[in-house]
Copies of this chain bind each other. A is one copy, B any other.
């Protein structure tokens, strides 16, 4: 499938943690990388200038949401999402499958695709592996995901097998459609397609799924079907197990990971990419991250506390505003509170991942992770 988009640049001797570089249409991306989520083509309470200032090289957006609003006609007329939202760096999109399963009503899955009703107005829609690729190509995604079939925690082996069979079939169809688009547009459209490992919590099925992904030989592979209700130790076990099966030369992406602990665990398992809505959602809820754990802005101890959120943080919010002011903004429900807290939380996670990259390059990732989490978990309020 042409040149690889990924190059490993460093490895931690004591773990599977690694650094790398993704070469994408809108610039290169250093990995491990945390990707902020812009569900509707906007990272909540953040401007694209804010995102560039922090240094993000890639963000995620959701195909399901964009397909419903603004819709393919507007996205097509805008020439894709980059121009529409004025974001000059890379965009990864999911396939929409996960949202169809989690948000929409009356979904009906067949091997042809999935019929669903919009969670906004109840209108009926159909998503196939091919149309998911088409929509993501229209969006102008730099990295796009195959349509997959995700099953919940405690699915039966039979259900998991059937879902996996469909996921595998959809991968082949997605890849075929994606190759057509690449051929038709001389490689300009379509970005890089990632396959998705499913198989629920059955090791054998995970192995089968990884084999199918390896065989499809897409530019990258995502681990799906986690964070679907399972206990943390099961999540961790299956993340580690699945990651260990993946080919070394491809970028590995796990969806929906956003707390420092989960991020550092995933990096240790050799994961290169992750995303989560948590930093901006917690920011809007007035919860902010520090090296000593997160805390709620509203707590009364902040009333006369003129220190920054985190004294070791170099972000604009920590340089310019106090806990007392941010508490006041939270109490008076000022939008500025969401803006500043989201900015800080995203900066914090981006900084955490940058420090993780340095630690890997300097072969001290285990120590870095232990030290960070020991402070972070001790101080958590």
Contacts and interface: CB of A to CB of B under 8 A. Distances in A.
Nearest to A333: B40
A328 B45 contact: no
Given A84-B325, A324-B74, A328-B70, A44 B336 contact: yes
Contact of A70 (B45, B65, B303, B335): B303
Nearest to A65: B332
A222 B11 CA distance: 69
A13 interface: no
16 contacts: A41-B328, A42-B332, A42-B336, A45-B339, A65-B332, A69-B328, A70-B303, A70-B324, A70-B328, A77-B324, A78-B325, A84-B322, A84-B328, A86-B325, A335-B339, A339-B339
A86 B329 contact: no
Of A284, A320, A325, most buried by chain B (CB within 10 Å of CB) is A325
Nearest to A338: B335
Contact of A336 (B46, B74, B84, B329): B46
A217 B71 CA distance: 63
A86 B306 CA distance: 12
A42 B304 contact: no
Stoichiometry, copies per complex: 2
Contacts of A84: 322, 324-325, 328
Interface of A: 40-42, 44-48, 65, 69-70, 73-74, 77-78, 84-86, 284, 303-304, 306, 320-322, 324-325, 327-329, 331-332, 334-336, 338-340
Given A69-B331, A77-B306, A45 B336 contact: yes
Which of A45, A303, A334 counts the most B-chain CB atoms under 10 A from its CB?
Answer: A334
A86 B321 contact: yes
A304 B40 contact: no
B324 A42 contact: no
Residue in A86, A321, A335 whose Cβ sees the most chain B Cβ within 10 Å:
A335
A329 B40 contact: yes
Given A69-B332, A335-B338, A86 B320 contact: yes
A241 to B, nearest CB: 38
A304 to B, nearest CB: 5
Given A69-B328, A320-B86, A335 B303 contact: no
Given A44-B336, A48-B320, A335-B338, 10 more contacts: A42-B332, A44-B334, A65-B332, A69-B331, A70-B327, A70-B328, A74-B304, A77-B324, A78-B324, A86-B325
A306 B45 contact: no
Q: What 9 A-B pairs are tightest by C-beta distance, nearest first?
A: A40-B332, A45-B335, A70-B328, A42-B336, A86-B320, A42-B334, A77-B304, A84-B325, A69-B332
Nearest to A43: B336
Given A45-B336, A47-B339, A73 B304 contact: yes
Nearest to A41: B328
Contacts of A335: 44-45, 284, 335, 338-339
Contacts of A284: 335
A254 to B, nearest CB: 26
A95 B326 CA distance: 24
A306 to B, nearest CB: 6
Given A45-B339, A335-B339, A40 B78 contact: no
Contacts of A42: 329, 332, 334, 336
A329 B65 CA distance: 12
A111 B314 CA distance: 52
Given A46-B336, A47-B336, A339-B47, A306 B78 contact: yes
